[in-house]
Amino acid sequence: MAKSNLIKDTTTAERIALIKSWIPDEDGLEDCGIDLWEMYDDYIKGKREIAEINMSFVPDYVMEAPAAEPEEISYDSSDSEAARARRRRGGSGVR
């Protein structure tokens, strides 16, 4: 059975070691702007449990602008498949 990581079951040194074990050797978190030491400081100091910190974490996501809605194209039943395909690609259909 795994050892409990609750504050009441760990020493400060054990809590530091746990957080240290989460940091990759090549520090893969460097580009994401998350500082685990800062994030889990309250846990290390015995103020808040890991679960409490995780529940309060709200990351800032950078999202691309939504893609424009495609134009609605009406089709005449007499259109050829090739003409419809050219219109979808933005071509005029005239060569």
**Do residues 74 and 64 touch, judged by C-beta distance below 8 A?**
no
Region at 82 (left for phi over 0; alpha for psi -120 to 50; beta for the rest) = alpha
| More confident: 45 or 35 | 45
Split at pLDDT 50, 70, 90, the class of 38 is very high
| More confident: 52 or 81 | 52
Domain range summary for the chain, segments of one domain joined by +: 7-56
